[in-house]
Amino acid sequence: MQTETNRIEAFSDGMFAIAITLLILEVKVPTPAPGRLAAALLRQWPSYLAFLLSFAYIGIMWMNHHRMFTHIRRSNDALLVLNLLLLLGITAVPFPTAVLAANLGTPDQRPAALFYNGVFIVIAIFFNVMWRYAVSHNLLDHSLAASAAMISRQYAVGPLMYILCFVLAWIDVRVSIGVNVALAIYFALPPSLMRRS
């Protein structure tokens, strides 16, 4: 069964919007002693950092999902299932974000960072599986073959780099988060810009 992809994109956009909105719910209003609000707000820096990182990641994943569906012109049942698996990973992001925010700067920051990075490994794998399936099952617009090849090259490094972030979390959580930020920037870049460089 082959169908248009408009409904997949609309449903996916709604899921991305919900996931990105839920992130702010983990940033709580502090209840400090009178005259201590500024200090209480500053103490919440892990929540702000985790919120900003995950907002950027979900936003960039949405951009990449949009880029994929600019190329994917047809769908089938298997693509629908793969898209749902990807959305499962994306909608889970607020939970590891909350865990990371609650544990940054504590003795449990390493397992929190490992959990956080583990979720992004799974999402990167889901992105790759869905994209590779669409390519191998001839669901792409053939007139966009050159840019599709660039997307394939860009996505290929994702799981490996997130595994690197996972390993780095064992060594230094700050370095792991720094590499995560660099990865977000990398995946935000349009494949056409990479082709020119």
Query: Is residue 107 a contact partner of residue 149, using CB atoms and an 8 Å limit?
Result: no
Q: Where are the domains of the chain?
A: 6-196
Q: What is the largest CA-CA distance in the chain?
A: 64
In order along its 197 residues, the chain shows pLDDT tens digits of: 345 788 999 999 999 999 999 888 878 888 888 888 999 899 888 888 888 888 988 999 999 999 999 999 999 999 999 999 999 999 998 889 889 888 988 999 999 999 999 999 999 999 999 999 999 999 998 888 888 888 888 888 899 999 999 999 999 999 999 998 899 898 888 866 655 55
